[in-house]
Structure 1
Amino acid sequence: MRTPLTQRVQKHRDAMRASGLRPVQIWLPDTRSPGFLEECRRQARIVAAADAMDTDTDAFIDAALADLGDEADA
């Protein structure tokens, strides 16, 4: 026999499925695990170093923003 809580959960899941949605399970890093913070810092340093070497992206973004400004004036 189902408890009222499991019945409510099942009703909610059925309604979500009826609206065209489906459940998806995803796995994320455990932010509480030892070493998580240091791994974030390590990856951030890698991204920052790559970003510092890439001057083309800044020029591209500036040009794209300038184009958007021209269209907004029209």
Structure 2
Amino acid sequence: MRAYRARLRAAGLRPVQIWVPDVRAPNFVEEARRQSLRASRHPSEKNAIDFIEAVAELDDDAS
């Protein structure tokens, strides 16, 4: 692993650690729903939500 990382660094890359929500956590679904409902009700999110819905509809047409 050390040699692999050294080769990547020599190629100009660097490691990045990303933390994401644990979808297996007991309260994940409840918290995701709470946050999405809160965002959907906020006027500043209207454009983003409209875009997401439009893209979702395009994906439905592909199947």
Fold shared, TM-score > 0.5 on shorter chain: yes
Percent identity for Structure 1 against Structure 2: 45
Aligned counterpart, 1:21: 13
What's the TM-score, normalizing by structure 1?
0.52
What's the TM-score, normalizing by structure 2?
0.59
Which 4+ stretches in 1 moved above 2 angstroms? none
Deviations 1:12-66 (A, max 9, x none): 211110011111222222110110011110111011111xx35x859xxxxxxxx
Aligned counterpart, 2:30: 38
Paired with 2:22 and 2:47, the residues of 1 have a C-alpha distance of: 32
Paired with 2:10 and 2:47, the residues of 1 have a C-alpha distance of: 44
Question: For this pair of structures, how many residues does the alignment match?
Answer: 47
Report the structure number with the largest CA radius of gyration: 1
- Structure 2 residue ranges without an equivalent (≥5): 49-63
